[in-house]
Amino acid sequence: MEGRFIITGTPGKRDWLANIHADESVVIHVNGEDLPARAVPVEDLEFRRRFFTRPSTSWYSTQSQLDHLVVTAPMVEILFQD
């Protein structure tokens, strides 16, 4: 979204998020390639609200109220290394 690679989920405890908090280094596997990156929490509430109100992400609004999603859903941006 907006040129950013975002990973999110529904609110709640997530092991993948705990792992990222412990070590933000990740590897994204795409078409047989391993791309090193960092996973950085997205804390910009305006961006998070735009994300969850897009038609392509409307499924999330069936799982939780919008304000709850914006504040509590796990969300990270993947920053690829050059």
Q: What is the mean pLDDT of residues 6-32?
A: 94
| Cβ partners under 8 Å of residue 30, min gap 6 | none
Question: Is residue 67 over pLDDT 90?
Answer: yes
Domain map (residue ranges) of the chain: 5-80
| Whole-number pLDDT of residue 69 | 94
Structural contact between residues 78 and 37, judged by C-beta atoms closer than 8 angstroms: yes
pTM assigned to the model: 0.87
Q: What is the mean pLDDT of residues 60-72?
A: 92
Give the CA-trace dihedral at 53, 19, 43, 38, to 10 degrees: -100
- Mean pLDDT rounded to a whole number for the chain: 93
| Whole-number pLDDT of residue 65 | 94
Question: Is residue 82 over pLDDT 80?
Answer: no
User: What's the residue count for the chain?
Assistant: 82
